[in-house]
Amino acid sequence: MKVTQIPFKKTGFFSATMLDYLEKKEAIHPFYNNFPDITGFHNQIEEKQKSYRLQSRLVLVDALKKQYQGFNVSEKTNEYIESLKLQNTFTVTTGHQLNLFTGPLYFLYKILSTINLCEELATKFPEQNFVPIYWMATEDHDFEEINYFNFDGKKVMWNREDGGAVGRFSTDGLDAVFDVFSNHLGNSKNATFLKQLFSDGYLKHNNLADATRYIANELFSAYGLVILDGDDASLKELFSPIVKDELENQTSFKAVSKTIKDLEKSYKIQVNPREINLFYLGADFRERILFEDGIYKVNNTNITFTKAEILKEVDDNPKSFSPNVIMRPLYQEVILPNLCYLGGGGEMAYWLELKDYFEKVAIPFPILLLRNSVQVVSEKQANKLEKLNISLEELFLDQYDLLSQKVTENSDIQVNFDEKIQFLEKQFLELKEVAKKTDISFVNAVKAQERKQVKGLENLQKRLLKAEKRRQKDLVDRITLLQNEILPNQSLEERQRNFSEYYLEYGGSFIEILKSTLKPLLLEFTVITL
């Protein structure tokens, strides 16, 4: 095994927002609190310790114990849960949708990054305890985002009617999905494990939340992972004051809208707030709460409340109020003694919209950490890359650029068009100085001729490259095939493949390799050659 670290910006798959954040550019400073380094964590511990109450710890521990009833709890996970009662215990959290059979590979990277960060913090801050949390997105209602996973280039899909919070979905019908998946796997020892994991997870549990908890627990409980379901009445009671404030004052809309005006000057906005950033949850629906003509209405239903009625409903039935993407992060930080949230680039981008809102409601804004990203390259693929003289950094180039570069390097015809264009532009620079002494029509004529001739050279360069690609078809085909194999759909494989493909080949050692490799505070992209 060989591990290579590459700067995130060299891969071409990360936004300007994330790259500026990692480089701590001045323009992005106002939108985060402490940076993910040891100094930042020292400051975050002090902030969170002052704000998080003992009563909240007791409610959290009680809720977790109830959620884990009927599941095998590892000794380490149990120790972590018990330690949450202590004032010197803090959490590090990642969240993920309830994707079928964990969904894309990065599910593993998120969780193992979180576990590894807790272990690293424990060595840096021996006076404190650190607990890795996986927040299950049980209240999401976009079923089309989670009802499939990719295996060996095929989409394994669960077809059922949509409606309501996905964590409450019955697992009925997943036996048919299991039959399809099983047929792809074969009968090896690793295949048998995967079949058993899928079967025990989805066919022996009644809802998607419990099924997902079972699978994540089987994969990561040895490392002490604590799995949390936010769709919980006692936890939502802790959040009730914020819910009431949202209903009465629309605080999130005002604060986030203000931040967006500043953020959008330099960066792309990920999400926009609504006037009320809450849903109302029913047995089979999750609908927006609207405020119209002095009445609170649940969209697409006949449910309405006066102000007094809806505030009473928050007290009587807190579980029915579900935060949307703007308020969910705050819910997490209210109920957890949390220091840091690990997520992907898209998640980090919308968290950056929220700092002013957190300050408005006096909740410490957590450290934001871009999760580890990984590209697995087999030894066979690495050998092919070497023979083709493609470095790991070059592997991530746009395919057109990669082919152009390698065809040019391999060509017998060495014509440096860039130099010729620069020389031409220099000649026209002298002509433009002469033209300035005449009239505007001659100046424009010189500029037009320059554009024409530069364009002509650029077209010749493209035609030569096209001809060389035809002449070097074998090289072009080999590079194209290899890059497409490593980067399916010209995307990072972590967004395309499911962990089962690698588990089938490497078994449990695949998770152990990731665990030993991922270094969350290094802030670099990881390539593992196996």
Same-domain check for residues 361 and 415: no
- pLDDT tens-digit series, residues 350-409: 999 999 999 999 999 999 999 999 999 999 999 999 999 999 999 999 999 999 999 989
Question: Given pLDDT bands bounded at 50, 70 and 90, which one contains residue 161?
Answer: confident
- pLDDT for residue 304: 98
Residue 388 class from Cβ within 10 Å (0-12 exposed, 13-18 middle, 19+ buried)? middle
- pLDDT for residue 424: 66
CA dist 177 and 175 (Å) reads 5
Give CA separation, 323 vs 161, 242, 318, in Å: 23, 10, 11
The whole domain housing 458 covers: 379-491
CB burial string 504-529: b at 16+ within 10 A, e below = beeeeebbebbbeebbbbebbbbbbb
- pLDDT tens-digit series, residues 235-251: 999 999 999 999 999 99
Token pair for residue 506? 């490497």
**Are 24 and 346 contacting, i.e. CB atoms less than 8 angstroms apart?**
no
Amino acid letter for position 316 = D
CA dist 203 and 159 (Å) reads 15
CA dist 163 and 170 (Å) reads 11
Please say if the pLDDT value at position 288 is more than 80.
yes
Q: What is the mean pLDDT of the chain?
A: 94
Same-domain check for residues 346 and 423: no
3-state secondary structure of 126: coil
Closest by Cα among 77, 36, 52 to 338: 52
Determine, yes or no, domain membership for 76. yes
3-state secondary structure of 338: strand
Determine, yes or no, domain membership for 252. no
**Are 530 and 43 contacting, i.e. CB atoms less than 8 angstroms apart?**
no
Same-domain check for residues 51 and 154: yes
What number is the average pLDDT over the span 300-314? 98
- pLDDT for residue 449: 80
- pLDDT tens-digit series, residues 255-283: 999 999 999 999 999 999 999 999 999 99
- pLDDT tens-digit series, residues 438-491: 777 777 877 888 788 768 766 776 776 687 888 889 999 999 999 999 999 999
Same-domain check for residues 94 and 173: yes
CA dist 229 and 134 (Å) reads 9
CA dist 253 and 273 (Å) reads 5
Cβ neighbours of 449 (radius 10 Å): 12
Determine, yes or no, domain membership for 189. yes
Same-domain check for residues 369 and 449: no
Determine, yes or no, domain membership for 267. no
**Are 78 and 127 contacting, i.e. CB atoms less than 8 angstroms apart?**
no
User: What residues have CB less than 8 Å from 71, skipping those under 6 apart?
Assistant: 213, 214, 217
Same-domain check for residues 345 and 439: no
Determine, yes or no, domain membership for 449. yes
CA dist 187 and 175 (Å) reads 18
Amino acid letter for position 437 = K
CA dist 422 and 99 (Å) reads 53
Q: Which residues pair with 369 in a beta bridge?
A: 342
- pLDDT for residue 469: 81
Same-domain check for residues 479 and 402: yes
- pLDDT for residue 99: 97
Same-domain check for residues 384 and 339: no
**Are 201 and 265 contacting, i.e. CB atoms less than 8 angstroms apart?**
no
DSSP character at residue 371: P
Same-domain check for residues 368 and 384: no
- pLDDT for residue 461: 67
CA dist 140 and 70 (Å) reads 24
Please say if the pLDDT value at position 313 is more than 70.
yes
**Are 28 and 20 contacting, i.e. CB atoms less than 8 angstroms apart?**
yes
Amino acid letter for position 154 = K
CA dist 362 and 334 (Å) reads 10
User: What residues have CB less than 8 Å from 187, skipping those under 6 apart?
Assistant: none
| Stronger pLDDT, 415 or 494, i.e. the higher one | 494
Same-domain check for residues 207 and 354: yes
Determine, yes or no, domain membership for 190. yes
| Three-state SS letters, 176-196 | HHHHHHHHHHCCCHHHHHHHH
Please say if the pLDDT value at position 286 is more than 70.
yes
- pLDDT for residue 393: 96
Q: What is the dihedral of CA 137, 141, 147, 150, to 10 degrees?
A: -60
**Are 495 and 109 contacting, i.e. CB atoms less than 8 angstroms apart?**
no
**Are 230 and 97 contacting, i.e. CB atoms less than 8 angstroms apart?**
no
**Are 405 and 525 contacting, i.e. CB atoms less than 8 angstroms apart?**
no
Closest by Cα among 390, 400, 355 to 262: 355
3-state secondary structure of 116: helix
**Are 367 and 338 contacting, i.e. CB atoms less than 8 angstroms apart?**
no
Same-domain check for residues 84 and 196: yes
- pLDDT for residue 432: 75
- pLDDT tens-digit series, residues 64-82: 999 999 999 999 999 999 9
Same-domain check for residues 48 and 145: yes
Separation of CA 64 from chain center: 25
Determine, yes or no, domain membership for 13. yes
Please say if the pLDDT value at position 436 is more than 80.
no
Determine, yes or no, domain membership for 242. no
Q: Whole-model pTM? A: 0.92
Please say if the pLDDT value at position 86 is more than 60.
yes
3-state secondary structure of 93: strand
Token pair for residue 486? 């490593």
CA dist 154 and 4 (Å) reads 29
Question: Given pLDDT bands bounded at 50, 70 and 90, which one contains residue 229?
Answer: very high
DSSP character at residue 364: P
What number is the average pLDDT over the span 128-152? 96
**Element counts in the chain: helices (H) and strands (E):** 23, 15
Q: Kindly calculate the radius of gyration of the chain based on its CA atoms and give it in whole angstroms.
A: 27
CA dist 201 and 223 (Å) reads 19
How many domains are contained in the chain? 2
3-state secondary structure of 8: helix
- pLDDT for residue 450: 74
CA dist 461 and 420 (Å) reads 11
